[in-house]
Every structure is written in structure tokens, then in C-alpha cells.
Structure 1
């Protein structure tokens, strides 16, 4: 008592294996899932008797019940003590639901089961379309298309597209994934003399002249960006650059030597933001990220930390400092968020910072450092109550600068430098009261000057004039032109 399952191959009789042919010719009871297979006529011509289940196709309510009925009948025949050979189109283990059901029932009933390898239509399809399955292919019955994952990244082979109605339903489902004009390949009668391979747009899928039980559809993978975010590509590139045989310059760099580059990249990011240039901003953020990855790689090589440590540390910090998002604390507004942030940060740094002004990096640009020093002092009450006295302080420092400039040398140089520093420090304080970051404001002013000066330079070149040909009044006219041009943009 047992069942042997064989496959009749993709179509042509020549695709049946010698092992399968020996089993077919020696079968006591030969059962076919369907007679609708090109090589069945050859079986008849060579005198092989069989029973097919095609009559059940017309009686069954749906394919699920059809496949169950076929499996039940095969197992029933085996229970009588017969040695059953059950033959299916293609390969027994490719898109054959009846084989799955028979396997399950045979195991439960203690019936021996043997499945013989066979060639499926897939091997022919891979060859005809030049598809390498190792790159990833999803194979699905047309009836199961609704279960496709929304982020399908592989090529798709759809089997059992046996009628125009099935093709129409498949078309509607696929258009939700790929759009109406996504090109697919329809294959029919693969491996037979009248083999057909045609490329059509999805909206044309159900308009083909002939669609039958030997029709399948291949949908190529979408050329889309992965939705899974990963730093691996840039991390791997940096590891290669720093490895033996990599780039000599990159290998020689240290944390100290890289300082200037990370500062430069920050300012280039600021420039892109100032210009409202999305393409440039994307590029400059990439350059800034590269510097972070560079430092992480240098640290990893010395056993300090890794890029993953950098990501994990900042992630944990953000979760910890946003208890109103990741915890159960509630806040009324953004101001309270800042207050909570400062409290949490103070607790975290309690063991590291004993003085009020601790925690401000020595290497910060001077305007930024002044801003942070004043903000730190303000948190402990060393600040004016409103902006009025700040204006007065700026005026006072400007007056003292004028007095210093009027002094005779050598006292003038040192006093003027001191007083100019006080003026700048007072202006930073003014910016703080106005809610303006002075470093950003000055950077924007620098970029604005660069643009306007470039306009003057271009205008002189267009007029074939030299700088020495112009007086300040003439240059000022061109400067005003640049301002008017910016105002219109």
C-alpha cells in the first residue's frame, strides 16, 4: 500500500524523465490530476491506461474543495492496498496543492509516499526569460495573489492563469502594486512547438487572444529603493578605505586631523539650508554623515566604540529625554519640554559637571560659545529680566570702543581689541534675547555677502570693466541691483 507521485514535465513528452517513464509504464493504477496536458496524448498512443479527475473540475464549487476531493480519492485508492501512481503536470512540488494534501493524509493514515523529482515549467521559463532564480523569485498561484506582501522586492511568477476571468482579476490586483503600465511577460505553452512569449502592459493582460491552462505571467522586480534603512553601505566603504590596501590618506587620519573637516561640513549643510536647496542639502548631509562614520571607524580600530554604539547611545538618550513621548509624563507646551530636557540632562551629567559653565566645548566657534556661556549663566539667574537693558549694554560697549580707538598707540590696539570683543559679546546677548542663534545669523549674512559680491563681479565681467575702473558709488549701484534681484527671487 503506497502512493508514488510523478510529474509529467512542463509540456512536451521529451521533458519526462526516464525514471518517471519507467514508473508510468509499470503502474498498476495510474491516476492523472488532469488530461489537459500536452504529453497525455503520447501516453494514450503508447497504450498507457489511466483515470483522470477532470470531471471533478466541473462539479467542485472552488479549487480548495476540488483539490480536497482529488486528494481524498487518491488516498481512498491507496487504502484498498493498491500501489498508486499519481501524475501531475510539471513537477509535483511546484504549485501542486493536491500533492500537499495527499502528503498530509498519507502520513496520518500510515500510507507510504514517494515523490519523484521532475522538471517544471519554471526551468523552461528561467531559460527563455534569462531569469536567475538565485536573485530572488516569488511563485504564487493566481488565486493567492491577494496575499502578496506590500513590500515585495523579488520577481513574481504567477501560475494557473487559466482563463480570461482569472487574468482580469490578477490584472486588477497587480495594478495596485505596480501601476497600470508596468510591463509583464506572458508565457504560454512553454517547451512546446507553439510556445508563446509576449510582453504587455498590465492593463492589457486580459486582452490577449488566447489564455488557457498553460498560461503563466512573469512580473519583473520593481526598481525601487529599499524601505529598510541601513548605514551598512557607508560603514563598509569606510572600513575598506581604512583597511590595508585602502586609501593612504584615509588610513593616516586621526580624530585630531579630522576636526577641520567636520566643521567645514557643518557649514556646508547650513549653506544648503540657507539656499533652500534640497538636492544640495541631501548631498551635504551625506558628507557630514561620512565624517561621523569616519570618526566611529577610527575609534573602533583602537577599541573605543563602534558606529552601532554611536547609534545606540543617541537612541537611548532621545528616549530617556522624552518621557512625555516614551513614558507617562505629560507636558503642556514646547517650553515645558525644554524644562524637562534640562532637568534630565542635569541629572545625567551630575557626576561630570560641578560648575555652572561646564560642558561647553572649548573648540566651539566664538559666537556659538558666547551664546552658550550666556545661556548657561541665565539658567542660574545671572541675566537681565528683559531686552531693554541689553540694548543699553550694546550702546555702552560701542561707546567704549569709540573711546578706545581714539587712544594713542600702543594702548589703542589692545584696548580696541578688548572693547570690540565686548561689543560682539553684547550683540550675542541681544541675539539670545531675540531668539536668534548668532552663529547661524552671521553665516547667513556671509552667504548673502558672497552672493551679492558675485553679482557685482559678474556684472563687471559682462561690461568688460575692471575693478580699478569703478569707484565706490558705482559699485554700490551694482550692490543695490543684487539686493533687488534677491528680493524678486
Structure 2
């Protein structure tokens, strides 16, 4: 009593193993999952007697039911005392659901079984397509494509693409993964004289002329989108620098001593953005990240918090403040997102901030501070309803500045400083009404001045002239040249 499971190879009779051939010749109880296999005609000619389960294919409503019926019959006959040989196309252990079911049922029933190694169509496919399986392959039955992981990175072989309808279903499933025009390879009758290999795009998969039970599809791996992201390298470097025997300078730093470097790195990032220099931005963001890691390491050494705490805290905050993405709330537009954000933020800070203007960092640049002060005041209604009065206020402050400028130097110095501050504060208000970040705007102007001044300086050097050799009109002419060149570029 027992079941011996063998494979008929990928197609050609020459791919049968000698062990399999001896078993085929030595039994009167040979069951074929299907007789639709290229070497079956040769088995008939050589007198091998068999029965097949092809009649069940015509009756079955689904493959799962079909495979279960085959397994139940094979195990049932073995339980009645028969010594059976069950043969499948290819290898018993490659994409053979019936073998999986038979072995499970046989174990449960205490029936002995053995699986004989056989050549599968995969060995032929590897050779024909030049695919090395060690680089990674996923093999799946066409009926089970829905179980593919969304982040599949290996090459993919889809078996049992036996009809045009299955090919159509396979196409639709794979297009969700790879896109309509992803190139795949369709293999048919591998290892047989009429072998066909088609390279086609996914949307054309079900239009090929040769599609039957010996058709499979190879999908090459997608190009890697990116490497696995990890902060570990920079965290480890910082830990080494701060450890005994590390860098003396790094070991001596504190949160206070590092403040200036954090500010410098932020402005270098802003400069890279202004220059639209991708390579520079990448570098400067790295420098800024290093400062964050540096502060986290200092805190970890004193038992305050770790880099993981920093990441966890900001992740939780972003999820909490985006309920329209991570929750059930819906929003109409970006303005409503901002309103929700501010309401959530206000609830979070309820115990920390009692005054309207609380929460503005002391060390912010003056323009940015002015902007935030005005924005917070505006939230409680301390603001003009429209931009018109802002223009009037600027004119008023400029008039007061002119008046202060007429005062004697000693007497009017403090007054002039106050009035100039009022002008700048009102200009910031104008920027806010126009939806412009004044700090960014001034940075752009600073960069523009640097570029144009650099052009003028380069022109003087090229002409071997000193600044004293030029009057203001000549310098203005060069300045205008710089503006024209910028406009053209």
C-alpha cells in the first residue's frame, strides 16, 4: 500500500529520468493528472498502460475543487490497498497543487508515499532565457496571482496559462503591478521541436497565437526603486565619534555649543534650494541630518531621548495631524487641511501655551518672527480684513521714517531705528497678505544681488580694471548687463 509520485518532465520524452522510465514500465496502476503532455504518445507506443483524470477537468467548476477531487481519489485508492504511481507534468514539486494535497491527505491517513525527483520546465526556461534562479524567482500558478505580495522584487514565472481567458486574467492582474507596456516573455512547448518564445508587452499577452497547457509567462524583475532606507550608518558614525577614543572636538560638544552649526546648515539648505542645485541640496540635507543625529546622541548619553524617539514622535504627530489621510475625516481642499492642523495643534498645546503669541522660538530671524507674530494675532481677529489698509500703513510708516531722518543725528538715532523697524514690520504684513514668506523673498534677493555683483566683479577682472576706475554709471551699465543675461537664462 503506497503512492509513488513521479514527474514526466517538461515535455520531450528525452527529458524523462531513467528512474522514472523504469517506474513507468514496472506498474499497471499508473495515474496521470492529465494525458495532455507531449511524451504521453510515446508512452502509448511503448505499451505503457495508464488512466488519466482528464474527465474531471471537464466536470470541475474550479481548479481548487478539481485538484481536491484528484487528490481524494488517489489517496482513496491507496487506502484500499493499491500501490499507485501518480504522474504529473514537469516535476512533482514545482507548481503542483495536487501533489501538495495528496501528501497532506496521505500523512493524515497514515499512507506511505514517495516523491521521485524529476526535471521541470524551469531548467529549460533558465537555459533558454539565460535566467539564473539564484538571483531570485517567484513561481506562481496563474490561478493564484491575487496572492502576490505588493512589493515583489524578484523575477516572476506564471505557470498554467493554459487558455486565452487565463492569459487575459493574467494580463489584467500583472498590469496592476507592472503597467501596460512592461515587457514579458511568453514560453510555449519548451524543449519540444515546435518550441516558441515570444517577447511582448503585457497588454498584448492574450493576443498571441499559441496559448495552451504548455504556456508559461516570465516577468523580469522590476528595477530596484531604492535601497532600503536606514539611519543606522550615520547614527553609528556619530556614536563612534562621541565614544572614548573618538574625536576630541565631537566629544566636547553640547546642545548649546551646536546651536550655531544647526542654524548654518539650515541656511545652506535654503541656499541650495534657491540655486535649484540638486547635488548641493542632497549634500546640505545630509549635513543638516548630521546635526539632528548629533543632538539626539548628546541627549541619549544623558538619558534624555534617542534618535528612535525623535523618529517615533514626529511619525505619531504626522499621523495624528492628518486624520483625513490616516483616519475617517474628509476635507475639501488644502485650506481645510490647514484649519484641521491648527485645531489639532491647539488641542495638543493647550496646557503649554496660555498667551496668543506663545510658541514662537526666541532665536528665529527677525523677518520670520515678525511674520509669525502677525499670523498669530490675525487668528484672533487682530488684523485688517483686506490688503488696502496695509499699503496705506506702509506709506504712513515711510512718512514717519522720513520725518525722523530730518532730526539731528544724536537726537534722532533711536527714533530712526524705531521708525525703520516699523517700516520693515509693515512690509512683512504686506508679504503675509500677498502669501509671500518675507524671509524667503529676502534670501532670493540676497542671492540675486550676489550673482549680479559677482558678474560686475568678474567683468572688472576680465578688463583688468579696479573699482576706482569705474564711476557709478559704468557700474550700473554692467549691472544691467547682468540682469539681461539672467533674464535670457
Q: CA deviation at 1:32?
A: 1.5
After superposition, the Cα gap between the structure-2 partners of 1:346 and 1:252, relative to the gap in structure 1 and judged at 3 Å, is: closer
Unaligned regions of 5+ residues in structure 1, if any?
Answer: none
Distance (whole Å) between structure 1 residues aligned to residue 475 and residue 314 of structure 2: 50
Q: 1:330-377, CA deviations, whole angstroms, 9 ceiling, x for partnerless residues?
A: 999689668746743652415xx8x88775545433444565567778
Secondary structure (helix, strand or coil) at the match of 2:93 reads coil
TM (norm. structure 1) is 0.72
Q: CA deviation at 1:89?
A: 1.9
Distance (whole Å) between structure 2 residues aligned to residue 62 and residue 345 of structure 1: 55
Distance (whole Å) between structure 1 residues aligned to residue 45 and residue 462 of structure 2: 91
2:160 maps to which residue?
160
Q: CA deviation at 1:328?
A: 8.3
**Mapping of 1:295-444 within 5 angstroms?**
295-300=295-300, 303-318=303-318, 340=343, 343-344=346-347, 346-349=349-352, 360-369=360-369, 392=396, 395-396=399-400, 399-400=403-404, 403=407, 406-407=409-410, 416=413, 421-434=417-430, 435=432, 437-444=437-444
Contact 1:142 1:159 in 2 (8 A): yes
Q: 1:122-154, CA deviations, whole angstroms, 9 ceiling, x for partnerless residues?
A: 355446655454654322223444665555433
Q: CA deviation at 1:116?
A: 1.3
Secondary structure (helix, strand or coil) at the match of 1:112 reads coil
Q: CA deviation at 1:68?
A: 4.8
Q: Which of 242-251 and 6-15 deviates more?
A: 242-251
After superposition, the Cα gap between the structure-2 partners of 1:291 and 1:198, relative to the gap in structure 1 and judged at 3 Å, is: farther
Q: Which of 357-366 and 374-383 deviates more?
A: 374-383
Q: Which of 324-333 and 71-80 deviates more?
A: 324-333
1:74 maps to which residue?
74
After superposition, the Cα gap between the structure-2 partners of 1:390 and 1:342, relative to the gap in structure 1 and judged at 3 Å, is: farther
Q: Which residue, 232, 244, 252 being the options, matches 1:236?
A: 232
Give the alignment's Cα RMSD to 1 decimal: 5.0
Q: CA deviation at 1:245?
A: 9.1
Q: 1:361-402, CA deviations, whole angstroms, 9 ceiling, x for partnerless residues?
A: 454334445655677789999999975667645654564466
Distance (whole Å) between structure 2 residues aligned to residue 123 and residue 278 of structure 1: 46
Distance (whole Å) between structure 1 residues aligned to residue 44 and residue 371 of structure 2: 93
Unaligned regions of 5+ residues in structure 2, if any?
Answer: none
1:4 maps to which residue?
4
**Mapping of 1:189-228 within 5 angstroms?**
190=190, 192=191, 194=193, 198=197, 200-202=199-201, 213-225=213-225
Q: CA deviation at 1:446?
A: 0.6
2:111 maps to which residue?
112
After superposition, the Cα gap between the structure-2 partners of 1:471 and 1:396, relative to the gap in structure 1 and judged at 3 Å, is: same
**Mapping of 1:16-165 within 5 angstroms?**
24=24, 27=27, 29-37=29-37, 40=40, 48-54=48-54, 56-57=56-57, 63=63, 66-103=66-103, 106=106, 110=109, 112=111, 114-116=113-115, 118-119=117-118, 120-126=120-126, 129=129, 131=131, 133=133, 135-145=135-145, 148=148, 151-162=151-162
Secondary structure (helix, strand or coil) at the match of 1:95 reads coil
Q: 1:447-480, CA deviations, whole angstroms, 9 ceiling, x for partnerless residues?
A: 2212332343455577776645432112112323
Contact 1:3 1:86 in 2 (8 A): yes
Distance (whole Å) between structure 2 residues aligned to residue 324 and residue 188 of structure 1: 49
1:456 maps to which residue?
456
Distance (whole Å) between structure 2 residues aligned to residue 210 and residue 327 of structure 1: 49
Contact 1:138 1:155 in 2 (8 A): yes
Secondary structure (helix, strand or coil) at the match of 1:474 reads helix
After superposition, the Cα gap between the structure-2 partners of 1:216 and 1:365, relative to the gap in structure 1 and judged at 3 Å, is: same
Q: 1:295-348, CA deviations, whole angstroms, 9 ceiling, x for partnerless residues?
A: 334544554323332233234445666789969899996896687467436524
1:252 paired with 2:255, answer no
TM (norm. structure 2) is 0.72
After superposition, the Cα gap between the structure-2 partners of 1:246 and 1:166, relative to the gap in structure 1 and judged at 3 Å, is: farther
Distance (whole Å) between structure 2 residues aligned to residue 360 and residue 338 of structure 1: 17
After superposition, the Cα gap between the structure-2 partners of 1:215 and 1:465, relative to the gap in structure 1 and judged at 3 Å, is: farther
Q: Which of 367-376 and 444-453 deviates more?
A: 367-376
